Chains A and B, each alone.
Chain A
Amino acid sequence: MTNLPPMTNTGFFRWLWRQLTSMKTALVLLFLLALASVPGSVYPQRGVDPIKVRNFITNSPTWGPILDRLGFFEVYSSPWFSAVYLLLFVSLIGCVIPRVGVHYRAMRSAPPPVPRILERFAGTRENIATASTEEVLSEVTETLRKAKWRVVAGPVESPTWVAAEKGYLRETGNLVFHLSLLFVLAAIAIGGLFGWKGNVIVREGSGFSNTVTQYDAWGGGRYTDAQALPPFSFTLDKFTVDFERGVAQRGAPRAFEAEMSYKVDPTAPIEHRLVEVNEPLVVSGAKVFLVGHGYAPLIKVTDETGKAVFEDAVPFLPQDGNGTATGVVKIPDSTPQLGIQALFLPTAALDEVLGPHSTFPGPDDPAVFMSAWKGDLGLNTGKPQSVYRLVTDNMTKIGLEQLKPGQSWTLPDGSGTVAFLGYKRWASFQIAYDPGKEIALIFAALAIIGLTMSLFIRRRRVWVKVVERDGVTVIQVAGIMRASTLEDKDIGALSEDLDLVEQALQAAGVARGITEEER
């Protein structure tokens, strides 16, 4: 880009546009795109793991906030990342759209006439005509037409040459490829604007119906109508989980099977489906994916009069690969209010170093370790509280205990008993609706097809020219290849084309090879 911009307004903008749509700019923008993508794999991303981002910022008080300002924790929606890909796509449009017109005209017009001198082209062959020029040229024309070449003869009054071209689909493929990229981007945008996605934890035996309030987390696009989600519902009837018990990768998950019954809408008949990790339930265009699992200990709390104030299976959040899970029980209905912080261990072990921990994710020997608190749960302050955290600011601890299933614990201050009755499993589901994904897939497939055409089809021209030389009629056969992008000096494919013409001429008896003496 050494040329200076012109000083007039229109001149300047035309110059700018030419720069933007030049191949060199495309190249630079592609680099920038690659470069701009890197930080997203280095720094935690809010969209993927918001907790990690928070920890990162807490742990580096100087750089954390600066990086946050600059969008390093939301790289793929940051202004600079967007700028790069939008510029790239503007450049793409500016570059490709005009080429569509040019290519359309090229496909409809005749190949350009034969060059004046054919000798300078590599691989040019010469034959001696043994029939009239007319016969030679009609033989050539027929052969090439049969091989799907576009052929033209000239000059019009008395033709002495034939020019042929083939491989237009190369450019077609290239255009299809680039345009498909635009449509893939559009499909991604459609998904982002009209789609939605949510996560929900469902205990074995419990149900879920598809409204925003039932989700633990839900997010929709700018044009998603959160009040009009498809009214399906489902129940998790049975959830089977299996872990590796062998030595290698012990504890790694091996099977998750969720037996579900669902209804497309409240009045529809009940249907059944087995949902597994790679086999989501598809309902009303949304997909219900099984993405996680955990335990929900069954806790029962009675007050000092023996009245049950709480009894439920409480989902605990998994903390490690061995199923260690933490959770909280809040009992606002007792006076004073009670709170329990607990650790659930599917296969419990206790040692000096690790304290209570789990040695296997399967429920071989479950136990809960809990601490009980009394006081004010702080639920009426108006501040939203996480169901997984106990706010102990206005509470006092009343004791610690370890329980096996079936055991119960009389609180040391006599304010009641806590019983660990057993556990249920829970499954977490990601429910996603992306109206753009089929479009994205179609255009991704088209892009691959176009790309393959573009890279493997060779655009080439063949010329046959009849010239008089020293009283003999010589047939010159030459050609040239636009060796694809690849600017390849390999003329192998072209010599096959020249062979084809030469052999057809000789086979038809209208030409013969030149002997040594004749040279």
Chain B
Amino acid sequence: MSPESLARISNVMIYSSMLVLTFAMFSFAASFAGGRRRASSSVTESTMSAGGAAVLTQTVVETEIPGRRASNIGISLTWLAFALLLAGVVLRGVWAGRAPWGNMYEFSITAALGVLGVFLIANTRIDLRWLGLFIVIPVLLTLGVAVTVLYTEAAQLVPALKSYWLVIHVLAAIICSGAFTIAAATAGLSFVSDRAERKAAAGVEVTGILATRIPNAERLRSITNKTLAFAFPLWTFTVVAGAIWAENAWGRYWGWDPKETWAFITWVIYAAYLHARSTAGWRGNKASLIALAGWIAFLMNYFGVNFLANSLHSYAGVGS
């Protein structure tokens, strides 16, 4: 097969994936429109709080399970889109003859793949169908920007990028991008639930389509939590792997280059998040806000910094 046809097939796969994702998005959206009412549950659970006292929690808002059929279709379509995107990314790598992360276009399609992959795998363990819409939308946006603004013909890597530490570093970063995105989505949604719960507690009926169809705030925060507990060590590893690579390429493992700086900022914010979760008065919305701030810092690193000219990491390949 000629390289040109490989490239063409890769592109077709990625466009098809976007098309399928669009349908997945509609399915997830439709699942919100046609939800089923779930009996309001009152859960009593105990944990050992710092003082050793048992803590009781109660769910106050009635939530509905999003339309099963539609969200199942959404998940199936997302799997299909994932497979298409995977094929697109792999073919891109075959075409270029290297790992497919040599420029911004390739980073973006691989990151989209990472977000979908982490979401789908997490969904096999805990039911996250209601989250689908909030994952598919950013992924579609990323892919949209990738194919329109960032598209670059495949080329070899500049010598600085030829390192297996790059492969490890970027692979870890991509998994983190998936986890951070899920955590941000659940953190964002927890505000919606939180508001609804406050209203319910004040005796006001909660009618919002979204508010009545997503899990309660505590559950959402718990998902944010678990996802970040998984992602934070991996991000730490990502940063260390990047430092090892930098040491090998430039002779210093840390140089406060903008990319390094934002990786550090992201790390510090998420560390603050983990602290907030065990600091009285910070557990709820404040912690969720920090989780969102961490994600924004991460995005800065991913997109913002590649356009800053004074970075050694400006290998984005944009505009060349």
Contact = CB atoms under 8 A, between A and B. Distances in A.
Interface string B58-80: 00000000000000000000000
Nearest to A44: B310
A451 B233 contact: yes
Interface in A251-290: 252-256, 276-280, 287, 289
B158 A432 contact: no
Most central of A247, A437, A456 by chain B CB within 10 Å: A437
B268 A278 contact: no
Contacts of A485: 229, 274, 277-278
A445 B252 CA distance: 18
Given A33-B268, A487-B283, A489-B218, A291 B275 contact: no
A296 B76 CA distance: 61
Nearest to A276: B159
Interface string A275-311: 0111110000001010100000000000000000000
Contacts of A489: 45, 47, 57, 218, 222
Nearest to A255: B159
A428 B256 CA distance: 22
A430 B312 CA distance: 15
A253 B317 CA distance: 12
B154 to A, nearest CB: 6
Contacts of B257: 48
B153 interface: yes
Interface in B134-181: 152-156, 158-160, 162-163
Given A277-B159, A289-B251, A490-B222, A40 B310 contact: no
A340 B273 CA distance: 60
Interface string A23-57: 11011001101100110110011011100100000
B269 interface: yes
A91 to B, nearest CB: 11
B229 A480 contact: no
Given A27-B282, A40-B261, A254-B156, A486 B225 contact: yes
B122 interface: no
A254 B315 CA distance: 13
B279 A432 contact: no
Nearest to A440: B253
A38 B282 CA distance: 24
Interface stretch (B11-19, B106-114, B240-248): B240-248
Contacts of A253: 158-159
A503 B244 CA distance: 49
Given A121-B54, A276-B159, A487-B47, A197 B251 contact: yes
B124 interface: no
A491 interface: yes
Chain B contact patch, size range: 35 or more
A23 B278 contact: yes
A278 B264 contact: no
B271 interface: yes
Contacts of A384: none
Interface string B5-38: 0000000000000000000000000000000000
A481 interface: yes
A256 B45 contact: no
Interface in A438-477: 440-441, 444-445, 447-448, 451-452, 455-456, 461
A246 interface: yes
Contact of B320 (A44, A249, A486): A249
Contact of B155 (A45, A122, A244, A451): A244
A320 interface: no
A265 B230 CA distance: 49
A488 interface: yes
Given A48-B255, A246-B155, A280-B248, A455 B265 contact: no
B295 interface: no
B297 interface: yes
Contacts of B274: 485
Given A30-B272, A437-B247, A480 B162 contact: no
Nearest to B160: A277
A447 to B, nearest CB: 7
Interface string B280-320: 01110000000000000100000001001010000001001
A252 B315 CA distance: 10
Nearest to B126: A490
A519 interface: no
A37 B236 contact: no
Contacts of B269: 30-31, 34
B317 A277 contact: no
Nearest to B55: A489
B54 A248 contact: no
A31 B274 CA distance: 12
Contacts of B255: 47-48
14 contacts: A24-B281, A30-B268, A40-B258, A41-B308, A48-B256, A48-B257, A122-B44, A247-B153, A256-B159, A278-B163, A430-B251, A448-B236, A489-B218, A491-B47
Interface of A: 23-24, 26-27, 30-31, 33-34, 37-38, 40-41, 44-45, 47-49, 52, 75-76, 120-122, 188, 197, 244, 246-249, 252-256, 276-280, 287, 289, 291, 430-432, 434, 437, 440-441, 444-445, 447-448, 451-452, 455-456, 461, 480-491
